[in-house]
């Protein structure tokens, strides 16, 4: 049996909104799981149910072999890092870290030992006597994590903890969270709407949409093999290009070109997905792109333009290529890396 087990967990709010639909999920001990999805998709609700901050309407949550449904949040032995950190404004950093331990009746020396160890690990030893209002965003973030670590909980829960930081600090803290989790080895769930965060942090990630887990897998599995139109569009930056098409007799006719020998027996209206990085320039390629705009990122260029039928399209090429605005590019799909989705259901068909 896995460490954290969600069985048919459902959340219906008193006003009738169904935030989470019968969701089942198993998380192994020591695993870093990321819930990713657009805002309002139910990922935070799911996390808060694990924490005990939301009641479970239906289903079971088991943590370390114990049914948690009716267990009080304080008894669950989980620690949570909140989006706005929720530090205790009237306590100094030391007491912020020590508060949870004091409530558990741990003796003073042990508390001091644990707080100092956690502070050292997070490099906040110098600020222990300061109030949260005297700390910078990054330092507050560390204190919030320290408060979680110091209790040595069974599971860490992160509710979009990086979204209040500036871009540079976010990348740095992302790295630190990952390192820290590997060092401490505690099972973690991290909620985010940022797919880059999700990809970089996760051992496994769950893409959630409208209260349903659309796909569960390692970041690379999900990137390489999206099972639905939603997942394909959500994971990957810049977003995957989508074109309308028709599939018949294993031949896909899209706008202005055909692809033969498609590995699918499906017939009908489809959506063809091609990632911007899966294109190469050739002569007489399938796709003709008229360049509108080039974003030079240094390592890469993002080329935005339109196809013949005025459809927007994006192509990613190495940064050393010079591409002029207004020029015409001829592109082919690299190694047949294309994704075909049923247009009506959004399910992958190839």
Partner 1 sequence: MTRFITSSFSHLILLIGILIMVVPVWMIFASSTHTSSMINMNGLQMFLGDSFYENYLRVLLYQGGFFKEITALKMFFNSFIMATGVAILSVVTSLMAAYALVYYRIKHATLLFWIIFITILVPLELRIFPTYSVMAELNLVNSYFGLIVPISASAIATLFFRQFYKTVPDELLESAKLDGANTWRFFVDFLIPLSKTMIVAMLIFMFVFGYNQYLWPLLVTTSEQYWTVVMGLKMMSGSIVHRFAFVIMSMVPPILIIIVLQKHFIKGVFQDK
Residues that bind partner 1 (CB under 8 A): 51-53, 72-74, 76, 78-80, 82-84, 86, 88-90, 99-100, 103-104, 147, 151
Tokens for 281, please give them.
């320039």
CB of 147 to partner 1, least distance (A): 8
Q: With respect to partner 1, which residue has the nearer C-beta, 90 or 108?
A: 90
Q: With respect to partner 1, which residue has the nearer C-beta, 95 or 306?
A: 95
Query: Residue 303, CB half-sphere, CA atoms under 13 Å: how many?
Result: 29
Tokens for 155, please give them.
């599971």
Under 8 Å CB-to-CB from 285, ≥6 apart: which residues?
A: 330, 331, 332
Residue 349 CA to residue 119 CA, distance in Å, equals 51
Q: With respect to partner 1, which residue has the nearer C-beta, 95 or 237?
A: 95
Tokens for 328, please give them.
């015409």
Residue 61 CA to residue 155 CA, distance in Å, equals 13
Q: With respect to partner 1, which residue has the nearer C-beta, 12 or 51?
A: 51
β-sheet bridge partners, residue 291: 305
Q: With respect to partner 1, which residue has the nearer C-beta, 155 or 302?
A: 155
Q: With respect to partner 1, which residue has the nearer C-beta, 51 or 286?
A: 51
Under 8 Å CB-to-CB from 276, ≥6 apart: which residues?
A: 238, 240, 241, 302, 314, 315, 316
Contact between 338 and 274 (Cβ < 8 Å): yes
Q: How many of the other CB atoms lie within 10 Å of CB of 165? A: 18
Q: With respect to partner 1, which residue has the nearer C-beta, 57 or 83?
A: 83
Sign of the four-CA dihedral 301, 304, 307, 308: negative
CB of 16 to partner 1, least distance (A): 19
Contact between 45 and 189 (Cβ < 8 Å): no
Sign of the four-CA dihedral 226, 228, 229, 230: negative
CB of 188 to partner 1, least distance (A): 15
CB of 90 to partner 1, least distance (A): 4
Residue 75 CA to residue 69 CA, distance in Å, equals 11
CB of 204 to partner 1, least distance (A): 24
CB of 62 to partner 1, least distance (A): 19
CB of 53 to partner 1, least distance (A): 5
CB of 40 to partner 1, least distance (A): 18
Tokens for 37, please give them.
């999805």
Q: With respect to partner 1, which residue has the nearer C-beta, 114 or 278?
A: 114
CB of 54 to partner 1, least distance (A): 10
Task: Specify the residue for token string 């020590």.
Answer: 98
The answer to whether the bond into 238 is cis (omega within 30° of 0) is yes
Residue 114 CA to residue 120 CA, distance in Å, equals 10
Q: With respect to partner 1, which residue has the nearer C-beta, 80 or 247?
A: 80
Q: Which of 239, 350, 227, 249 is nearest to 304 (CA)?
A: 239
């Amino acid at each position: 049996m896995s460490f954290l087990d969600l069985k048919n967990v459902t959340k219906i709010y008193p006003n009738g909104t169904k935030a989470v639909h019968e969701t089942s999920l198993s998380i192994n001990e020591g695993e870093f799981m990321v819930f990713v999805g657009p805002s309002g998709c139910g990922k935070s609700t799911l996390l808060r149910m694990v924490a005990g901050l939301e009641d479970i309407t239906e289903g079971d949550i088991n943590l370390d072999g114990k049914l948690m449904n009716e267990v009080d949040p304080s008894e669950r032995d989980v620690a949570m890092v909140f989006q706005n950190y929720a530090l205790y404004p009237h306590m100094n950093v030391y007491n912020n870290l020590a508060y949870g331990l004091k409530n558990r009746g741990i003796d003073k020396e042990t508390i001091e030992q644990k707080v100092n160890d956690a502070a050292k690990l997070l490099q906040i030893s110098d600020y222990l006597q300061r109030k949260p209002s005297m700390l910078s965003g990054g330092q507050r973030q560390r204190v919030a994590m320290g408060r979680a670590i110091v209790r040595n909980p069974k599971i860490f829960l992160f509710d979009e903890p990086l979204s209040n930081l500036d871009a540079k600090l976010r990348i740095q803290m992302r790295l630190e969270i990952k390192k820290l989790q590997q060092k401490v080895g505690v099972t973690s769930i991290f909620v985010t709407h940022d797919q880059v965060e999700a990809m970089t942090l996760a051992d496994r990630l769950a893409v959630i949409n409208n209260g349903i887990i659309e796909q569960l897998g390692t970041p690379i599995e999900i990137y390489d093999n999206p099972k639905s139109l939603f997942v394909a569009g959500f994971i990957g930056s810049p977003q995957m290009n989508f074109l309308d098409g028709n599939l018949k007799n294993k031949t896909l006719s899209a706008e202005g070109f055909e692809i033969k020998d498609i590995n699918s027996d499906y017939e009908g209206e489809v959506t063809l997905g091609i990632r911007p990085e899966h294109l190469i320039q050739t002569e007489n390629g399938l796709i003709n792109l008229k360049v509108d705009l080039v974003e030079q990122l240094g390592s890469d260029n993002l080329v935005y333009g339109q196809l013949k039928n005025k459809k927007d399209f994006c192509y990613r090429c190495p940064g050393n290529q010079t591409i002029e605005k207004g020029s015409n590019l001829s592109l082919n799909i690299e190694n047949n890396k294309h994704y075909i989705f049923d247009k009506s259901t959004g399910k992958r068909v190839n």
